[in-house]
Structure 1
Amino acid sequence: MGLIKEFKDFAVRGNMVDLAVAVIIGGAFGNIVSSLVNDIIMPPIGLLVGGVDFKDLMVVLKEAYVDPSGQEINAVTLNYGNFIQFLVDFTIIAFAVFMIVKLINNLKRKEEAAKTPPPPTVNKQEVLLEEIRDLLKQQGGTP
């Protein structure tokens, strides 16, 4: 029973729940960014470079052919366009995460700055009493 209880404690710990939520939101965020890149950013870039769709960019290493038995053998290609697409996706996601972390850090700094109490104000009587004490010390009197 100890192993089951330990697993239950591990599985329902706050950090695990936070991690699960982060993974789910991250997946949805990835889909949003992929749509942003594929549907909004890449079409104008494709037009700028002559109507090229980056997903179609490839180098054919071996052409497709039909073998003697009549079976079609697919071409072997190096799909560098997909790689470019994923680089653009990654860059946008990384920048978005950076901006979110930067925003959170700024909010934390502001919150910490607001928490620090202002320096205590000094009473004029206390200052005068301290000066009198210091003068008495200098004269050899008792404080």
Structure 2
Amino acid sequence: MKAFIREFKEFIAKGNVMSMAVGIIVGSAFTAIVTSLNQDIITPLLGLILGQIDFTSLSITVGNASIAYGNFIQAVITFLITALTLFLILKAFNRFTAKKKEAEEEKTEEPAPVPEDIQLLTEIRDLLKKE
């Protein structure tokens, strides 16, 4: 049992678990942002464009059961809007990180200055070749 507890402590202390925990917390906060963007900005704009279409009232009654297929349609529309919003945000983020990476690569591609002794040896070599 002690070995199990020691192994579990090592697992928890690893950076991967901590990174995953931070990712989950940031993901939760990001979910709130995307949800707000969807519900407070995009959905009302689409409502203005499409004339406040609401599918939630659509249903079929079969016997004593009511099949609310309108809720499903509304959930699919909400999912598609959320997925599109997330796609656009991630696309912009990826474009930003790609530009940042390119800028870093340009900085690292600059040749290091040639040491003075190497320059002198190169000049001597070139002079000897001329003679």
What corresponds to 2:129 in structure 1?
Answer: 134
Report the aligned-residue RMSD: 2.7
The normalised TM-score by structure 2 is 0.75
What corresponds to 1:141 in structure 2?
Answer: none
For the residues of structure 1 that align with 2:13 and 2:101, how far apart are their CA atoms?
Answer: 27
For the residues of structure 2 that align with 1:6 and 1:93, how far apart are their CA atoms?
Answer: 38
Secondary structure of 2:85's counterpart equals helix
For the residues of structure 2 that align with 1:30 and 1:59, how far apart are their CA atoms?
Answer: 29
CA distances 1:4-43 after superposition (whole Å, capped 9, x unpaired) = 1121111121121111111111112112211111111111
Q: Whose Rg is larger?
A: 1
For the residues of structure 2 that align with 1:85 and 1:14, how far apart are their CA atoms?
Answer: 36
What corresponds to 1:77 in structure 2?
Answer: 68
Unmatched 5+ stretches in structure 2: none
Aligned pairs for 1:1-143 (under 5 A) are 1-53=2-54, 56-57=55-56, 60=59, 62-63=60-61, 73-78=64-69, 79-121=72-114, 125-135=120-130
The normalised TM-score by structure 1 is 0.69
> Is the Cα contact below 8 Å between 1:10 and 1:16 reproduced in 2?
yes
Flag as ranges the 4+ runs of structure 1 deviating above 4 A.
121-125
Unmatched 5+ stretches in structure 1: 66-72, 137-143
